[in-house]
Structure 1
Amino acid sequence: MPRHPENAAASASRAATIRDVAARAGVSVATVSRVLTGNYPVAAATRTRVLRAVRDLDYVVNAHARALAGNRSKTIAVLLSNFTSPFYNRVASGVEQQAMAEDRLCMVSTTGGDPEREVKLVETLREQNVDAVVLVGGVVDTPDYREHMARLARLLDSAGSRLVVCGRPSPGENLPVTVVEYDNAGGAFAATSHLLSQGHRRILFIGGDPANTTTRDRLDGYRRAMAAYGIEEDPGLVIVGTQLPQFAYAELKKRLAAGPPDFTAIFAWDDHIAARSLVALRESGIAVPGDVSVIGYNDEREAQDVFPALTTVSIPHMELGREAVRLALHRDNAAPNQHVMLGTHIVMRDSVRPHINA
């Protein structure tokens, strides 16, 4: 990940100015301006020195000055883990809808779930002077990642832009970051509580990367619900590893091949994992919901198309994206760290049945 150790103290206290860049490059302020605007010829060696100083100092052209010059990008950038997940696509659609309503262009890119790539993309977008950078979905938020993202949040803010995290917590406290979350842990608590209310006590949680913020929240909700019913957690009923449906399918097939299920219900990390769990159960001769109940998360289209149709937790996907843009563009400067929590709810379908032997 990019580092600027020689500049960390200065970055923490104030944003670099055009005079700082000029002093670092050994040129006049006018020359720096010419390089950055590209409206006047400058020697190649001089241009290289200026651009190096810009990078070293984390300098971004003042957003208000660029607006006066007519150079404002009028762009909202949204970074997704991938293009294939309906969750990401629907949130991005919400971002695009609101961006259009605000007369902004929407730029979409993917990180592949790589925190380092995400940091580099935000760095690049900062240099493009976008109006806001929206990060969608959970992340493996290591201390190193949080440090870099906190620095970028401050730099974006100092340039008149905004970092928005959508469906995940802020990278740190007291940062100029807009947080738009849904009640991830609350949805998991409700899903687990629903199974418990139906008499299930042996509930298998399956799927998700344990280092991912989304997995941590969903496990937290699951554990709190079990504790609320006075049920001691059985570590053997938690299977985590990756967010890939084939991981859950393989783990479940292996478990069922070893003997009859030691659980009466499954709480799947998301609907894709729930759908593959249905396949594994069916192939093993186990009926849903007759023998085992299954509940998913996200309320994707797939939840309605599988058999039996999945009971699941619904997320306000589109509203997450729309609210992210609204808050970023119309934020209250007196409240630098905005935080909005949207609700979730259970959609009842056909994959859950009371456990009659409870």
Structure 2
Amino acid sequence: MTVTLADVAARAQVSPATVSRVLNGNYPVAASTRERVLQAVDELDYVLNGPASSLAAATSDLVGILVNDIADPFFGIMASAIQSEIGGPFGSASHRQPSKVIGGGRAGGERLAVVCNTGGSPERELTYLTLLQRQRAAAVVLTGGAVEDAAHGAAVATKLRRLAEAGTRVVLCGRPPVPEAPEAIALTFDNRGGGQRLTEHLIGLGHRRIGYITGPEERTTTRHRLEGHQDALAAHGVEDDPKRTVRGSYDRRSGYEATLELLRREPTLTAVVAANDTVALGACAALRDAGLDIPGDVSVAGFDDLPFSIDVVPALTTVRLPLAEAGARAGRIAMGREEPPPGGVAVVPADLTIRASTTAPRS
């Protein structure tokens, strides 16, 4: 049965006019009411009247870019690069690969890029996808790792398929492919390989007591980087002691607190691997406050190679992800100016970048 505007209004306990105002954004609505309406839209999967097939050629000039945290340079760099490729007409048909490019959009003119900041909320991610479908977005680019939850993953896959069916191009940037939604082109980062190379670098220097600070447990990025670290330990016969791994978040405070916890658990650590460069900054601050020298007493390594990494003292050993290049490529694919990779999936390499924050242990 087709979900109507009245159904959404009933679920949200507001008038149909209020639902229309929220979805069209043409009249001020209280924040609490807006949230109720958006939740009802998401729960009922209310998108458009009529079959999606009739809208395949009716996409708008809107392009949605989903990020977890626009204040995080990891997402800001990608979003900026994606947006730099949005504008002007879609690529001509001669530059498209019919088996992979989905939908068109109106010929000519500029595109409006809208950055949707989810705050890491799975619910907000689903709501934004629903609203972008309702707005008949020409393209949607999802950045960063996915939430590892079966129900959420299934819901995202359903929404990506419906976006594609409605004529929207869907691109994943730095995110694993979604087998249930093969229409979504995936440029996925080699987080596992990068994590393995980083830990192998430390092992090669002679480190055996290596602490590890993870990101949020539910993120694919977190799991893949940790698995790479564990792969390196196993390959070189180094014990993977659970007390040397501390769960955290992708922020400086988490890095600081997790490092103090690592030192409490094992004061003789000779190296710390952080889930990203921002976490590594917190780790360095904690080590200095504990009276330890970097890298003389403890080596520190990060991940991502964010712009500040080369300017901190000592400069940070890290894994470089080509965030701007990947974002620009995702933008071109979303605009139909570049052919998708074979099979719809490309692995973006993660390169070890050695700087002054790592050296051989003293003992």
TM tier, smaller: 0.7 to 0.9
State the SS of the aligned residue for 2:208. coil
* 1:98 counterpart = 2:90: no
Structure 1 residue 226: deviation in Å? 0.9
SS of 2:319's equivalent in the other structure is strand
Q: Distance in 1 between matches of 2:164 and 2:342?
A: 9
Following the alignment from structure 2 to structure 1, what is the Cα–Cα distance between the partners of residues 265 and 68? Answer: 37
Larger radius of gyration: 1
Determine whether 1:316 maps to 2:325: no
Q: Describe the SS at the equivalent of 1:219.
A: helix
Which position in structure 2 is the counterpart of 1:244? 251
- Offset of 1:232 from its aligned partner? 2.9
Instruction: Quote the offset at 1:65 in angstroms.
Output: 3.9
Q: Does residue 1:191 correspond to 2:191, yes or no?
A: no
* Counterparts in 2 of 1:92 and 1:56: CA distance versus 1, 3 Å: closer
1:76 aligns with 2:63: yes
CA apart distance, 1:54: 6.7
2:162 partner amino acid: L
**Which residue in the other structure is 2:349 paired with?**
343
Which one-letter code corresponds to 1:187 in the other structure? G
Deviates more, 1:127-136 or 1:236-245: 236-245
Match for residue 289 of structure 1? 295
* Structure 1: 5+ residue stretches without partners: 1-5, 8-19, 22-50, 67-71
Q: How far did residue 222 of structure 1 move?
A: 0.4
Give the Cα–Cα distance (whole angstroms) in 2 for the partners of residues 139 and 118 of structure 1: 10
The TM-score normalised by the length of structure 1 is 0.78
Distance in 2, Cα, partners of 1:113 & 1:278:
25
Distance 1:207 1:334 in 2: 32
TM score, norm. by length of structure 2: 0.77
Stretches of structure 2 lacking an aligned partner (at least 5 in a row):
5-40, 91-109
The alpha-carbon deviation at position 296 of structure 1 amounts to: 0.7
Equivalent residue letter for 2:74? F
Q: Which residue of 2 aligns with 1:265?
A: 271
Give the direction of change, closer, same or farther, for the CA distance of 1:255–1:146 in structure 2 (3 Å limit).
closer
Q: 2:210 aligns with which of 185, 192, 203?
A: 203
- Larger deviation, residues 309-318 vs 320-329: 320-329
Q: Check conservation: 2:243, 2:265, Cα contact below 8 A.
A: no
Amino acid at match of 1:324: A
| Equivalence map 1:136-147=2 (5 Å) | 136-147=143-154
What corresponds to 2:75 in structure 1?
88
Aligned to 1:234: 241
Q: Distance in 2 between matches of 1:237 and 1:54?
A: 47
The answer to whether the 8 A contact 1:199-1:356 is kept is: no
Partner of 2:309: 303
Question: 1: distance between equivalents of 2:321 and 2:259?
Answer: 26
Question: CA separation of 1:89/1:115 partners in 2, compared to 1, >3 Å: closer, same or farther?
Answer: same
SS at match of 2:357: coil
Count of residue pairs the alignment pairs up: 308
CA distance in 2, matches of 1:327, 1:285: 50
Distance of 1:199 and 1:88 partners within structure 2: 34
Residue identity over aligned pairs, in percent, reads: 34
Distance of 2:317 and 2:47 partners within structure 1 = 51
Look up the equivalent residue of 2:214 and give its one-letter code: G
